[in-house]
Amino acid sequence: NAGVMQNPRHLVRRRGQEARLRCSPMKGHSHVYWYRQLPEEGLKFMVYLQKENIIDESGMPKERFSAEFPKEGPSILRIQQVVRGDSAAYFCASSPLPGAYNEQFFGPGTRLTVL
């Protein structure tokens, strides 16, 4: 399966704990995007990364959230000291090198529940 992979698919955390969400892009893709889908709301952009670089983090909350895409390994979205309002589905998407075509292909998502 050459699709975008995310793990875990479901994650339960208690308030104050840390959540780490992982994303492996499609084979050959070097750009990763993170989106959040809150209950009963649409998908919202969070951050756009290339290998070892954050390109656009205009949608990231100012505190507790961080993202990385190291030279080796998956992209990580990290949420520190989670609160109930962080409960949502987090989707990762990937695309090939930017060019004339900009399709983003989404993974199955990680559903985070904060107790």
Which residues are at the interface with another protein (CB under 8 A)?
4, 31, 33, 35, 41-45, 48, 55-56, 58-59, 91, 95, 98, 101-109
- Closest distance of CB 69 from another protein, Å: 14
CA distance 19 to 80: 6
- Closest distance of CB 101 from another protein, Å: 7
- Closest distance of CB 18 from another protein, Å: 24
Report CA Rg, the chain: 13
CA distance 77 to 91: 10
Q: Which is nearer to another protein, 14 or 102 (CB)?
A: 102
CB 34 within 8 A of CB 77: yes
Helix, strand, coil % over all residues of the chain, rounded to 5: 5, 50, 50
Q: Which is nearer to another protein, 24 or 95 (CB)?
A: 95
Q: Which is nearer to another protein, 8 or 16 (CB)?
A: 8
* CB burial string 8-29: b at 16+ within 10 A, e below: eeebebeeeeebebbbbbbeeb
- Closest distance of CB 109 from another protein, Å: 5
Q: Which is nearer to another protein, 95 or 114 (CB)?
A: 95
